[in-house]
Structure 1
Amino acid sequence: MHSDTLTRVPGLLYGGDWNPEQWPESVWAEDAALMREAGVTMITLGVFSWARLRPGPGEWDFAWLDRLLALLHEHGIAADLATATASPPAWLVRAHPEILPVTAEGVRLEFGSRQHYCPSSPAYRSAAAELTRKLAERYAGHPAVALWHIHNEYGDHVTECFCEESAADFRRWLRARYGTVEALNHAWGTAFWAQRYGSFDEIEPPRAAPGPVNPTQNLDWRRFSSDALLECYRNEKAVLDELAPGTPVTTNFMSMFKALDYWTWAAEEDLVSDDAYPDPADPRAHVNAALNYDLMRSLKGGRPWLLMEQAPSAVSWREVNVPKRPGLQRLWSLQALARGADGIMYFQWRASVAGAEKYHSALLPHRGTASRGWRETVRFGAELSRLGELAGSRASAGVGILLDWDSWWALELDDHPSARMRWRELLADWYAALWERNVTVDFVHPGASLDAYRVLLAPNLYVLRAEHAALLERFVSDGGHLVCGGFSGVVDEHDHVHPGGAPGPLRELLGVAVDEWWPIPDEESVPVRLPDGEAEATRWSEWLEPVDDVETVAEYAAGELKGLPAVTRRGRAWYVSCHLGPAIGAVLDPVLAESGVRPVAPGLPVGVEATVRRGPDAAYLFLLNHGEGAVSVPVPPGTDLVSGDPTGPSLSLPPSGAAVIRHAFGQP
């Protein structure tokens, strides 16, 4: 299998979750025929089938799955075969009630939903590995199986468990991390509030307590909880690697998800897959979706990824579930391709008639083939087949955004100067400014190689390790441009404040010291004087003390900080001490200009998204119109793969319109 090919299935993948155990077997053949009609190439099978595959402790039933895989193969459809371990069956829970998870308040959660298990439970892990082994022994090498799908959406409902087994596992994790309890006491700062431990056996999870819990204990708990779920994944992956080598393995992520460190997780996957559910009621949903898709592409260094789940129309779990207007499903699917996906799949194939998701849309809706949704399913399947040559091509970026889950977790702990400093909200405006300028970005861990980028952005880097700061210093000295947001460089990996205060080990590079943090109350703002106008800072500001040869780019224009620098630069290193909202674009513009970073396609109308993927023989320009009106856009000479028509020098895009233009290298 080529390293840039998701599976052995040629072209772009198209399909969705199929749950045939919810239907009489007489429906299965009809489903397979309709899949062929719709152009489906791969189906996810068996995600919630544990109780069907193993009805009791001494029972196994694979005959029905044998017939399903044979049916798919007969119709030329590949299977993404799940290990079915996301929801333990009732008989297992009753035989081992300790499997059920426990909250921080000591409440044991019950059977009756899904993901009802403690990640550290030996009984759960053993049963999951046994099921995975039975599946792999039976279906390794099956001609229909093109991908293995472990579990489903780890952490969706249970990200942590506070039971005694989890406590024991936490203590094992801490011993491995620190070696001695003395090292732990130092890291956790237990001299504060008489929290010193005499042995690891005295440590418990951060359960509900009378007051604030030790922040480093909470940070380590976040690290441990991500790792505990990762151990569940590894537990099954080891079985598949042993018995089914050569078939790729994935587990579906949930976009930019706080609970799990996806840098660590992605390293364990053969390919990255994602579940994404932008809200059709949000007029800016496509910007946030682009952000999530850029992350998915970045997690494996730019390799193509798979959109495993999205909604064909409405979901069922928001307070108000707005459907996708005609054409929006197609536009948003093409957006995932534009940002590096090599497959478009959905939840689910056929709409359920019972259960918690019976009102969730499907490729085959309740009304069946007479529905608008079905017509869009068939139309897009045909369109996707014309884009098959995109498979394996890559998107690239000259701008990187630094993302560290340790920093995210620690930033949002309790008892900080402001609870309004939240990573996703800080990031949103920085990312949106680049999206509006059609500048493609990667996400990058601060400890990774930075050589591919001309500009690095750090909207917030609250936790900063000394070795990561050294990499940033080298990046700037080698000619890169760094823009760092406020409340960065505050603490080390143990959540200890750096000597001398913020921005810690970046103080010399940035040329500033933070004398005092100055959070801005809700409903208030502070004017900031920029070179070409004035903006309003909200949420956050800082009293900065610059050193020599530091330029003040912007200053506070009123309030207690009037006249003090708000934005500074020292050479190619910039510091933004306040939250500027959308006005951050005015700060980034000169950085982009000086670094030589250019838009993918300059001069496009507002609301038109442009990205480029490059293959060995051609480049592919995506143009997506998220606006409400028709627009005319300049395009290079080439071929629009969507319509099949030759292009240039301009193209009209209706609302929700899209073009994918194959053109020669050197064009925009």
Structure 2
Amino acid sequence: MTTPTAFTHPGIAFGCDYNPEQWGPDVWDEDIRLMKVAGVDLVAVNIFGWSHIEPREGTFDFSRLDDIIGRLHAAGIRVNLGTGTASPPAWLARQHPDILPMAEDGTRRYPGGRQAYCPSSPVFREASLRLVEAVVDRYDAHPAVEIWHVSNELGCHNALCYCDESAAAFRRWLREKYGTIDALNSAWGTAFWSQTYGEWDEILPPRATLSARNPGQQLDFHRFSSDEVLGQYRAEAEIIRRRSTTPVTTNFMVTAHIENLDYWTWAADMDVIANDHYLDHRLADPGAELAFAADLSRGLGHGAPWILMEHSTGAVNWQELNLAKEPGQLIRNSLTHVARGADAVCFFQWRASVQGAEKFHSAMLPHAGTDSGTWREVVELGGILGRLGEVNGSRVVADAALLFSWEAWWAADSECRPSQHVGYLDQVHNAYRALHDQRLTVDVVAPGSDLSSYRLVVVPGLHLLREADAAALAEWVRGGGTAVVTFSSGIVDEHDRVWTGGYGGPLRETLGVHVEEFAPVAPGTVLTLSDGSRASLWSERARSTGAAVLATFADGPSTGSVAVSRNRHGAGSAWYVATHLDPDAMSRLIADAADAAGVGAPAVVTGADGPIELVRRRRDDTSYLFVINHGTTPARVEALGHELVAGEPVAGALAVPPGAVRVIREEGTA
């Protein structure tokens, strides 16, 4: 096994997915010419190349891939080289239909889309690794290859497979985890509904049933499935690392509604974190979710710079309503990722497809060609990134953190819960949006992380909470930290077993509140608090056991109970929010907590009529302040130094035009 080098690229990489197999060589030359015009210097190829380079089993044809990699290299463009395993070719499924994934209702899913394979299939694994060996042996020594790209968006469609092969793999995973069938029965609470198992072979994946399924079984199946997909990554990466020192990664999907993979358990296997992100217009605030995803991507790498492997120039093709981006939004969105730690900005894709499922997905070179607003904005972005090269390698500075857990997501959103109208991400997004509104820079970290560098930690709806992780949070508060914890936190342990004695379990002493009963309300019901705040969806029948009560429920099923409280715990304090506050109320509460913790925005801004993002990146004694004006009026930021986008000195203050981004190399802040 070789030791990989770190991912290094001069300046901020500007790149794209390129699918030359959709075009002829006459188009390739024009594409490469235009890539140079735009400033593109990193191109992903062979992402979906399997059927092109292995058209029949064991027969490889690398001629076209050789050609395009050679042309890119001759133009000075580096290559992000895919292993090609993202979707199996039709011949593999025809010869081995048992590789096809099975849905929870027991029906197979067929070729014709992508990722038509079971992650536990040994036949798929063998065929895919044979392909990886051939690709690596051919291209590892090629000077164009800057990074290896394993598969593509692993588990996006097929993370959960319920076939017999998956069932056998699930049982092997369970035996390794629990050791004995009695330990499994205890963990899953199988005494309920006569579900007790006597032999391992009696256990199946949580296939569709006539009633609700066992929550412990479902939680472990999520864990197993995440591990099983990670196993495909590890198998491919191992082949690469036996032959190569070039860094290896895959593109995560840290974005709204992608929940099946626990990336905290994946991150250590990556030589650099890479993420795909697309604005989700099904959310109330897509811009805040973009910032959250970028902060979480950075958190997965413990603060190190990361790669934005995919995002869009405009509309996607897979939402119910695919909205185009407004003029200037392409640049603002891209530089938000850079502000939050990305050292590479890449798009899906270079040239818009004219056929296939993604023909209406936006691209750097749209169907309209170079005489288009999108193309002109792409070229402008390329120029800006060229001027920001010195930012490369710097790290984001944050005094606040937000705890996020895929396990808590799985447990909180189980089939039988107090309200199907409240989900884990509802709380996460509500809390993060409030932090975003206050222009606070946030690291997104896992429960149990070292919190010593933070003064404010927000814990939204951490439904599943291990005792050790609760103790770490309590000790941090006791040492002087300020925590804000929202409802449905500390409800179950790692086995989805309820902490008894009052909800909040191992956090009860820290919060100084005893929660006796949940009392959710129907969507559209407005709850009023004693301080005039408004809330919805959730209330609790709770009393203080030492916390100062800041607001109670003025109406609804929990009238008179604690709604918001603050508890002194050692040298620190813990705030508790027992309802889903509306955005304005949540923003005010976070502002009060941040003020109490001594946490503020990175700079003072005045004059803006819309959202302003402020993020500071630092390397050694040099810091860079990103100012992103999403409003319609100029904003004025207090700063001293040199602005890199427009190339002008900043002597105390800088006007940032509406819709613009400015990046200031600061003086006197290090």
- Give the aligned partner of residue 646 of structure 1: 649
The 5-angstrom pairing of residues 322-341 of structure 1 reads 322-341=323-342
Q: Is the 8 A contact 2:251 2:309 kept in 1?
A: no
What whole-Å deviation, never above 9, does each CA across 1:186-221 have from its counterpart, x for those lacking one?
Answer: 001111100000011100011111101111111111
What whole-Å deviation, never above 9, does each CA across 1:470-490 have from its counterpart, x for those lacking one?
Answer: 111110111111111112111
Q: The residue matched to 2:264 in structure 1 has which SS? A: helix
- Give the aligned partner of residue 304 of structure 1: 305
Once the two structures are overlaid, the 10-residue window that deviates more, 445-454 or 631-640, is 631-640
Q: Is the 8 A contact 1:18 1:44 kept in 2?
A: yes
The 5-angstrom pairing of residues 256-267 of structure 1 reads 256=256, 257-267=258-268
Write the distance in 1 (CA, Å) between the matches of 2:348 and 2:659.
22
- Give the aligned partner of residue 270 of structure 1: 271
Write the distance in 2 (CA, Å) between the matches of 1:207 and 1:341.
40
- What are the ranges of 5 or more consecutive residues in structure 1 without an aligned counterpart? none
Write the distance in 2 (CA, Å) between the matches of 1:165 and 1:407.
27
1:24 CA drift (Å): 1.0
- Give the aligned partner of residue 78 of structure 1: 78
The 5-angstrom pairing of residues 133-282 of structure 1 reads 133-256=133-256, 257-279=258-280
- Give the aligned partner of residue 482 of structure 2: 481
Write the distance in 2 (CA, Å) between the matches of 1:280 and 1:61.
42
Once the two structures are overlaid, the 10-residue window that deviates more, 631-640 or 300-309, is 631-640
TM-score by length of 2: 0.96
What whole-Å deviation, never above 9, does each CA across 1:275-304 have from its counterpart, x for those lacking one?
Answer: 111157978321111111111111111111
Q: CA RMSD in A?
A: 1.8
Write the distance in 2 (CA, Å) between the matches of 1:319 and 1:416.
27
What whole-Å deviation, never above 9, does each CA across 1:114-166 have from its counterpart, x for those lacking one?
Answer: 11110111111111111111111111131000011111112222221111000
Write the distance in 2 (CA, Å) between the matches of 1:254 and 1:151.
16
Q: Is the 8 A contact 1:279 1:322 kept in 2?
A: no
1:368 CA drift (Å): 2.3
Write the distance in 1 (CA, Å) between the matches of 2:265 and 2:288.
25
- Give the aligned partner of residue 61 of structure 2: 61
- Give the aligned partner of residue 467 of structure 2: 466
Q: The residue matched to 2:266 in structure 1 has which SS? A: helix
1:652 CA drift (Å): 3.0
- Give the aligned partner of residue 36 of structure 2: 36
Give the counterpart letter for 1:114 in structure 2. R
Q: The residue matched to 1:635 in structure 2 has which SS? A: strand
- Give the aligned partner of residue 425 of structure 2: 424
Q: Is the 8 A contact 1:313 1:324 kept in 2?
A: yes
Once the two structures are overlaid, the 10-residue window that deviates more, 275-284 or 517-526, is 275-284
1:334 CA drift (Å): 0.9
The 5-angstrom pairing of residues 458-537 of structure 1 reads 458-530=459-531, 534-537=532-535
What whole-Å deviation, never above 9, does each CA across 1:304-331 have from its counterpart, x for those lacking one?
Answer: 1111111112222223322222211111
The 5-angstrom pairing of residues 440-459 of structure 1 reads 440-459=441-460
1:612 aligned residue (605, 608, 616) = 616
Q: Is the 8 A contact 2:448 2:473 kept in 1?
A: no
1:635 CA drift (Å): 3.1
2:603 aligned residue (597, 601, 604) = 601
Write the distance in 2 (CA, Å) between the matches of 1:603 and 1:11.
28
The 5-angstrom pairing of residues 9-48 of structure 1 reads 9-48=9-48
- Give the aligned partner of residue 541 of structure 2: 543
- 1:436 maps to 2:437: yes
Write the distance in 2 (CA, Å) between the matches of 1:663 and 1:580.
37
- 1:637 maps to 2:640: yes
Q: Is the 8 A contact 1:153 1:254 kept in 2?
A: no
1:83 CA drift (Å): 0.7
- Give the aligned partner of residue 562 of structure 1: 559
Q: Is the 8 A contact 2:247 2:272 kept in 1?
A: no
Once the two structures are overlaid, the 10-residue window that deviates more, 83-92 or 148-157, is 148-157
**Change in 2 beyond 3 A, CA 1:196/1:105:** same
- 1:552 maps to 2:564: no
- 1:414 maps to 2:450: no
1:600 CA drift (Å): 1.3
Q: The residue matched to 1:636 in structure 2 has which SS? A: strand
The 5-angstrom pairing of residues 619-634 of structure 1 reads 619-627=623-631, 629-634=632-637
1:273 CA drift (Å): 1.1
Give the counterpart letter for 2:452 in structure 1. D
Q: Is the 8 A contact 2:48 2:86 kept in 1?
A: yes
Write the distance in 1 (CA, Å) between the matches of 2:343 and 2:416.
43
Write the distance in 1 (CA, Å) between the matches of 2:432 and 2:341.
17
Identity across matched positions, percent: 44
1:515 CA drift (Å): 1.1
Give the counterpart letter for 2:57 in structure 1. P
Once the two structures are overlaid, the 10-residue window that deviates more, 207-216 or 608-617, is 608-617
Q: The residue matched to 1:368 in structure 2 has which SS? A: coil
What whole-Å deviation, never above 9, does each CA across 1:359-404 have from its counterpart, x for those lacking one?
Answer: 2121112232223322222222122111100100110211111112
**Change in 2 beyond 3 A, CA 1:245/1:6:** closer
